[in-house]
Amino acid sequence: MSAQRRPDIVVGIDVGQTCSGVAYSIGPDWSEPRTLNRWPSNVGIEKADKVATRVGYTKDTNKQKNWGFESVFADEGVNVREQFKLTLDADYEDDRGFTCHDARQWYLDYLRCLHGEIEKFFDASIPRWRNMHVEYSFSTPTTWKNPAMIASIEELVKSAGFASTSQQSVRMALTEAEAAAIEASTTQYRTNEIFLICDAGGGTTDVNLLKVKSTSNKIELEPLDHVEGVPIGSTLIDFRMAEHIMKRLHLIQDHLDGDIYCLADEMLTGRFQIVKHSFPNPVVDQFWLDVKGLAGSHTFPEAGIKDSRISISRTTLTEIFDQQIGQIFSLIDERLLALQADSPAEQVSYIILSGGLGSSPYLYDQIKKRYQENVGFRSANTSQIQIMKVLEPQLAVVRGLVRERTQRLGTPVAAGPEVFETRRCRNSYGAIVRELYNDSKHRGLPIVQDMHDGRQWVDHVVDWFIKRGQVIKVSEGVRQPYGATISGDQVEQPRRAQIVMSSLPVERLPVLSTDSGCKHVVTVDYKLTNNDMKLKNRQMWRLKKKYWRAEFFFVTIIGPADFRFQIEGKNGVLSSSHESLKVEFVDSSDEPLSATVSPRAWSAQDPFNSPGQTNGRAVRYA
């Protein structure tokens, strides 16, 4: 959640599947974001724009030994853990068999070291920084769709030290695609131009369609679609190549010293990375990699090995690239076709590539062929499209993170504009309510006869108050009216709203919270105030009790990666702020790690009213 105090230093942190970037800016002038580029390594200091996302644990004791560039596979006493970002999400299936719990432990240990390194850097370069308020903005991968999961990652980040003093705070900020878009828009584009940013990194590829609202000094972007991401990236190219090499090494297994999997993995560092990064150049029929674990000079024609070097044909590498690029095409096609269906008159001026894979010359050529030269794809919105690259593609996300925050912070006397005045949610969200039976909507569902009013109700109905892709004004959020009839003895009772989410297409949203495709994500406990209720003079039905009629708005404020809730009376006056509510995110993958991360409670699904209450209906107004 955003910090209350104005930050003096904003630090952007983008933890990637392969490497992580850190950028910062110092107020009140908010200089251009600068990046940390010196990192500890086994040879002293390594100069690099990003630090490897790796942690090493001693094999015999499983104690953390090192991190970043210090963790190397050649160190036989150490288990190196890497590429765990995607595995942090319990819904992601890790082919290697690692669990989300493993990944969270590695992430925590990695972040502790990263935090220590940032502190060291500030100690050496910014006088008195420990008296300043430092705000750490973390990018969120687009593949993390569940706000409950993001909330538990936020807890993990905090326990790694990023909120260890009152001078430090953490903010789960923009998705990687949004942050990269901000950086892209600083250089090249004009007001009203539409672009599709495609951030293709080591493990994820995200796309986002945006319209430039303003570029003069301040950046304002309007999302035309929700962001979408898939687990596709440059490390998948490595993975497929490792599979290919393993198959061939298998043929000469008896001559090799070492495990085939480890040898293949080792063969992908060094020269292969150079080949991959410059592909499709130079134009050669094959390239050669040294075979690891094969001492001396040996030739095995059956495995394509000559003088202990294995040949990889251009066709093989092309096929592997094409598999990944095919999936990136699908992602882009889908967004462009959705735009065509929604707004056929809008013209997309650019596809902008960022991220490591986004800097691949082969990806650039293929994207150009498909979308600019229309080989295999055509849409009404792309007749003038051009393909561009972000400057410094691997740093776009972390720089964009810092820019977004510092622009908004503005000067001490005047806040700056939001980059995104509107947002489009990646999921649909709803509250569980009891609804009056309506034959066209509820036919076939279980009916509850109310003992007091004799009317027929349906429980566990989801009132979808945010639909995926819907435009939401950031400053206003979503205000959904609810009502309840409350007897006198229950006026003071805490009430509970259960919020569920669904990633299904809007036309297929479930009716009941118990239907598949519906996931419980947040529980909000609140009390209604005098501002929300009116005493009714009539006596309550046959019970002859006084009763109150509550009418209020349940307000959801959409942050970059978080939600805040509040209750407003019918008169629009705030009754309960977010801080006064008890908000519990429900991440089913939460398990305690060996640190101070508290598991979140799961509670049974109750309707949108007091648990166990019979006459406190929450009714959605038509």
Ligand X SMILES: Nc1ncnc2c1ncn2[C@@H]1O[C@H](COP(=O)(O)OP(=O)(O)OP(=O)(O)O)[C@@H](O)[C@H]1O
Residue 18 partner contact from ligand X, Mg ion, none using kind-dependent CB cut-offs of 5 to 8 Å:
ligand X
Binding mask 380-399 for ligand X (x = CB under 6 A): --------------x-----
Q: Shortest distance, CB of residue 13 to Mg ion, whole angstroms?
A: 11
Q: Give the relative orientation of helices 100-125 and 147-157 as an angle to the nearest 10 degrees.
A: 50
Task: Calculate Rg over the CA atoms of the chain.
Answer: 27
Which CB atom, from 402 or from 619, has the smaller least distance to Mg ion? 402
Q: Which residues, other chains included, contact 337 with Cβ-Cβ below 8 Å and sequence gap of 6+?
A: 379
Q: Shortest distance, CB of residue 375 to ligand X, whole angstroms?
A: 21
Q: Shortest distance, CB of residue 83 to ligand X, whole angstroms?
A: 9
325 touches 361 (CB < 8 A): no
Residue 582 sits at the vertex; the CA angle it makes with 576 and 583, to the nearest 5 degrees, is 110
Does 201 sit near Mg ion (CB under 5 A)? Answer: yes
Q: Please give the residues from 225 up to 264 whose contact with ligand X meets the rule CB under 6 A.
A: 233-235
Q: Shortest distance, CB of residue 378 to ligand X, whole angstroms?
A: 27
Q: For ligand X, how many residues bind (rule: CB under 6 A)?
A: 23
Q: Which residues of 567-587 are buried (b: 16+ CB within 10 A; e: fewer)?
A: bbbbeeeebbebeebebbbbb
Q: Please give the residues from 421 up to 460 whose contact with ligand X meets the rule CB under 6 A.
A: none
Residue (of 588, 590, 595) closest to 106 by Cα position: 595
* Among the residue ranges 4-12, 165-173, 199-207, 379-387, the one whose residues contact Mg ion (CB under 5 A): 199-207
Choice from 18, 366, 609, 615 touching ligand X (CB under 6 A)? 18
Cα–Cα separations (whole angstroms), residue 359 to 233, 355, 362, 461: 12, 6, 9, 47
- 175/147 Cα distance (integer angstroms): 12
Which CB atom, from 325 or from 478, has the smaller least distance to ligand X? 325
* Among the residue ranges 8-16, 90-98, 140-148, 404-412, the one whose residues contact Mg ion (CB under 5 A): 8-16
Task: Give 307-366 as a DSSP string.
Answer: TTEEEEEHHHHHHHHHHHHHHHHHHHHHHHHHHHHH-TT--EEEEEEESTGGG-HHHHHH
- 18/238 Cα distance (integer angstroms): 12
Q: How far is CA 261 from the centre of its chain?
A: 31
Does 203 sit near ligand X (CB under 6 A)? Answer: yes
515 touches 528 (CB < 8 A): no
Residue 231 partner contact from Mg ion, ligand X, none using kind-dependent CB cut-offs of 5 to 8 Å:
none
Across 510-588, where does the E strand assignment appear? 519-526, 533-540, 545-558, 563-569, 574-576, 582-585
Does 85 sit near ligand X (CB under 6 A)? Answer: yes
Which CB atom, from 17 or from 381, has the smaller least distance to ligand X? 17
Does 143 sit near ligand X (CB under 6 A)? Answer: no
Does 140 sit near ligand X (CB under 6 A)? Answer: no
Which CB atom, from 202 or from 607, has the smaller least distance to Mg ion? 202
Does 355 sit near ligand X (CB under 6 A)? Answer: yes
Does 201 sit near ligand X (CB under 6 A)? Answer: yes
Does 528 sit near ligand X (CB under 6 A)? Answer: no
Choice from 71, 137, 159, 360 touching ligand X (CB under 6 A)? 360
Task: Give 398-453 as a DSSP string.
Answer: HHHHHHHHHHHH--SSSPPPPS-SEEE-SSEEEEEEEEE--HHHHTTS--EE-TTT
Which CB atom, from 7 or from 393, has the smaller least distance to ligand X? 393
Does 54 sit near ligand X (CB under 6 A)? Answer: no
Choice from 12, 147, 356, 616 touching ligand X (CB under 6 A)? 356
Choice from 7, 12, 16, 616 touching Mg ion (CB under 5 A)? 16
Q: Shortest distance, CB of residue 278 to ligand X, whole angstroms?
A: 7
Residue 494 sits at the vertex; the CA angle it makes with 493 and 496, to the nearest 5 degrees, is 135
- Which residues are 208's β-sheet partners? 197
Choice from 12, 40, 161, 202 touching ligand X (CB under 6 A)? 202
Q: Which residues of 451-464 are buried (b: 16+ CB within 10 A; e: fewer)?
A: ebeeeebbbbbbbb
Choice from 142, 359, 406, 576 touching ligand X (CB under 6 A)? 359
201 touches 328 (CB < 8 A): no
Q: Shortest distance, CB of residue 56 to ligand X, whole angstroms?
A: 18
Residue 616 partner contact from Mg ion, ligand X, none using kind-dependent CB cut-offs of 5 to 8 Å:
none
Give residues in contact with ligand X (CB under 6 A).
16-19, 50, 85, 176, 201-204, 233-235, 273, 276-277, 355-357, 359-360, 394
Give residues in contact with Mg ion (CB under 5 A).
16, 201
